Amino acid sequence: MNTHTNTVTGSQLESQGNALAVVPVTRPFYWSVRRELWENRSTYLAPLAAAAVFLFGFVIHTMVLRHRMHGIWTLSPEQQYDTFAAPYGIAAGLIMGTAFIVGVFYSLDALYGERRDRSIFFWKSLPVSDLTVVLSKVTIPIVILPLLSFAITIATQLMMLVLSSIVLMGSGLDIGTLWTHSSFLHVSLMLLYHIVTVHGLWYAPFYGWLLLISVLVRRAPFIWAFLPPFVIGVVEQMTFRTNHFFTMMVSRLMGPEVATPMGSSMMDQMAALTPARFFALPGLWIGLAIAAALLAAAVRLRRSRGPI
């Protein structure tokens, strides 16, 4: 009887082991990313809210502009187009800026919140490795948020084109110029390239640092994230009378430098940052190496951290 029971139990364990063996390695990572999106709805609600508020203001702006059309006819065709095209760049900047702020606060709370919330005291017993957890969390600000902000920006700009065409219809303006002056597909691809390279790869060290602070400290992660860089900059200024650290941080935040004429638009700057120039920047690879080191430290520290 015992032999039969042991045989059945052994066969069950073997079948379960075989079932686990065929599970793709990427599946835990996939579900970890989905779990982060389920538990952090602000990752997509905040950019959507920013887009909705901007669309409301854009409709009012377009209606007011319709009543002031007589002042636009005195401008050159290029100036007329710039008058109508300016809000599109503002919309993209607002949505991308909102996504970046969401990424900052998400990264600070990603590993800190799971230790603080006692209702998930079982978090270390989940069948997911520390590496998978950290990688799934850093994927949100580096991959998911940029792509979400891109999709929301494109949808918002399309709605702006439709709304402006409806509001300005019959005003004497050639509505077709709003659609044909610049290739919407070309501009969208340039925007996608900018978001992936700058907001994803270029900002990776920032998110790595924030995740390290999130797993390291026991309280006030926001203060600990921004206080050390501030102290380093102040000490450098007082000791050496230089601002190299602050300059480095600001230049990193502003994005890679490209040689463009004074007064160039954001589209001109994106066009100048070709893939060959971007991936040849030493600062990109130095930043990615720093980000990898910070994430490796976060993985190692998570193994020894307990609930707060």
Specify the pLDDT at position 160.
87
Contact 142/40 with Cβ under 8 angstroms? no
- Reported for 288-291, long-range contacts at CB under 8 A and 24+ positions apart, including other chains, are 288/201, 288/204, 288/205, 290/205, 290/208, 291/204, 291/205, 291/207, 291/208
Distance, in Å, from the CA atom of 266 to the CA atom of 273, rounded to the nearest integer, reads 11
Specify the pLDDT at position 275.
83
Specify the pLDDT at position 296.
96
Specify the pLDDT at position 116.
77
| pLDDT beneath 50, residues of the chain | 1-10, 13, 15-17, 19-22, 73, 120, 261-263
Specify the pLDDT at position 53.
94
Specify the pLDDT at position 97.
93
DSSP 70: G
Specify the pLDDT at position 20.
45
Distance, in Å, from the CA atom of 141 to the CA atom of 37, rounded to the nearest integer, reads 11
Specify the pLDDT at position 304.
82
DSSP 72: T
Specify the pLDDT at position 72.
53
Specify the pLDDT at position 163.
82
Specify the pLDDT at position 140.
96
DSSP 182: S
Specify the pLDDT at position 115.
80
Specify the pLDDT at position 17.
47
Distances (CA, A) of 46 to 41, 100, 125, 152: 8, 11, 32, 11
Distance, in Å, from the CA atom of 78 to the CA atom of 83, rounded to the nearest integer, reads 9
Distance, in Å, from the CA atom of 218 to the CA atom of 204, rounded to the nearest integer, reads 23
Specify the pLDDT at position 161.
83
DSSP 68: T
